[in-house]
Amino acid sequence: MDLAACGPGNCSDGLTLDARPGDPMDVTTLAALGASGGALVQFLDFAGKVADLEQARYTARHRKRPVPELRTIVDPPIDVLVLITRLALGAIAGYLFHDQVTGPTAAVAVGAAAPALLRQLVYLRNAEAGTPRT
């Protein structure tokens, strides 16, 4: 396919290239990219736990103590539930901000920020109601 022959709305193979830089992205793409941002947060959290476990295992070996096992940081049912929650929050954030987000990097960032944004909103709601933070 020769993309040079294509212009906005007219390609020889029937494809259209109506999107321009700065245009809002479609909602489905934003939701998927937002969900990937949520998954990225989960991956980074898990990677941090693995790095901490590596250090703990190294220290335990050096001090000739029992070495912590992987199961000390992995709890499959909860880890899967947290992943699903972060995917959903990221997708919802991508959907909610679809008019403001114009690029894939921004969409992933919105999805990654969704869990922290929700925590902040809950904190503010509790602060206004005089309820202690949970």
Helix/strand/coil (H, E, C) string of the chain?
CCHHHCECCECCCCCCCCCCCCCCCCHHHHHHHHHHHHHHHHHHHHHHHHHHHHHHHHHHHHCCCCCCCHHHCCCHHHHHHHHHHHHHHHHHHHHHCCCCCCCHHHHHHHHHHHHHHHHHHHHHHHHHHCCCCC
Each of the 134 residues of the chain gets a pLDDT tens digit; together they read 454 555 555 555 444 445 566 666 789 999 999 999 999 999 999 999 999 999 999 999 999 999 999 999 899 999 999 999 999 999 999 998 888 888 899 999 999 999 888 888 888 888 888 766 55
pTM of the model: 0.71
